[in-house]
Amino acid sequence: MLERTLNRAWARRGPLAWILWPVALIFGTLAALRRWLYQIGLFQIQRVAVPVIVVGNVVVGGSGKTPVVIHLVRHLQHCGLRVGVISRGYGRQTKDCREVLSASPIDEVGDEPALIQRATKAPVFVAARRFEAASSLLARYPDTQLILCDDGLQHLALHRDLEICVFDDRGIGNGFLLPAGPLREPWPRRADLVLHTGGNPAFAGFTAQRTLARYAVDANGHQITLDELTQKSSKPLLAVAAIAKPEDFFTMLRAHGLQLASTVALPDHYSFDSWSRNEYVRYTVICTEKDAVKLWHQQPDALAVPLVFTPEPAFMAALDQRLSALLQSH
């Protein structure tokens, strides 16, 4: 209820936003002071031996950062680079620095790092301090040539060589800082590349297309086409999504011709610990890849439909150009 109220308030400069605006001024002052302390060297910025690319956003809530990271890792691997990924591991119950392995419990590493590791097989480390994660990754995999940081645009303690700021169709909302608006820091700010993951960019930047694959995968990696799923499934389809915008997933499934008997929208990063398989035994359950890494422990027969994320060619060209210069300078 509170989340829905704030999301509505953050979309425009209405009464609630103006009531909270004085608090946003205080937040903005403290954020500016913190950034200044880093700039003058009173707070230390730490470097690692390889280039670091941060993929983040200035707006609270999901904006599609993780699909961007996965796409970039695959692209860089295709170019022959050895890439590692670091993350805070949002939602995990642990506080230490650790590697994300294929058998890692999700509550110990976080769902998004687990998905990145599963999708790319790249080394992934999680830690509250990104420098600690990067240092541990390089100690374990010393031949790593490049590190991608999933989120962390505001984590100024780690030096970054390239910043990619990601937006969805919300843009910057009402343009106010928290809690009067959705902004973690003022916009515009310096960023090397701006990428819009939605279909209706709010301002200038590179764009991308988000669609669903024409197939689903089970817990063992076996594929079934969506056409087969529609024609051969003896059970009605139930779609479940625990992401920032569940309705987007349901809409894309329907756009592929799937007839959904029911949908279940859950909070982003939902753990699925309380999910009851017996309650949905009469359905074929389909979900997102992010949810599957958790749901498969409770419902092994669930099917995940991968997201196909495709940035425009100009974005990839601009990234490659900057990366070439970065790698030559290291």
Confirm if 180 and 21 have CB atoms less than 8 A apart: yes
Tell me the backbone φ, ψ of residue 262, rounded to 5 degrees. Answer: -160, 155
Measured over the CA atoms of residue 277, residue 283, residue 284 and residue 290, the dihedral's sign is negative
Measured over the CA atoms of residue 286, residue 292, residue 298 and residue 302, the dihedral's sign is positive
pLDDT in tens, the chain (330 residues): 677 788 889 999 999 999 999 999 999 999 999 999 999 999 999 999 999 999 999 999 878 899 999 999 999 999 999 999 999 999 899 999 999 999 999 999 999 999 999 999 999 999 999 999 999 999 999 999 999 999 999 999 999 999 999 999 999 999 999 999 999 999 999 999 999 998 889 899 999 999 999 999 999 999 999 999 888 777 999 999 999 889 999 999 999 999 999 999 999 989 998 898 888 899 999 999 999 999 999 999 999 999 999 999 999 999 999 999 998 887
Q: Rounded to an integer, what distance in angstroms lies between the CA atom of residue 177 and that of residue 167?
A: 16
Give the Cβ contact number of residue 223 at 10 Å. 13
**What average pLDDT does the structure give for the chain?**
94
| 177 Ramachandran zone, left/alpha/beta (phi>0; psi -120 to 50) | beta
Confirm if 27 and 177 have CB atoms less than 8 A apart: yes
What is the tens place of the pLDDT at every residue in 208-263?
999 999 999 999 999 999 999 888 777 999 999 999 889 999 999 999 999 999 99
Q: Return the CATH number of the domain spanning residue range 28-210+310-329.
A: 3.40.50
CA 281 to chain centre: 30
Q: Which two tokens stand for residue 132?
A: 């600690």
Confirm if 126 and 107 have CB atoms less than 8 A apart: no
Strands 162-167 and 52-56: parallel
Ordered by start, the domain boundaries in the chain are 28-210+310-329, 214-305
What is the tens place of the pLDDT at every residue in 187-218?
999 999 999 998 889 899 999 999 999 999 99
Please report the pLDDT score of residue 234 as a whole number. 79
- Which strands sit side by side in the sheet containing 83-87, from one edge to the other? 98-99, 124-126, 83-87, 146-150, 52-56, 162-167, 193-196, 206-212, 307-311
Q: Rounded to an integer, what distance in angstroms lies between the CA atom of residue 290 and that of residue 272?
A: 12
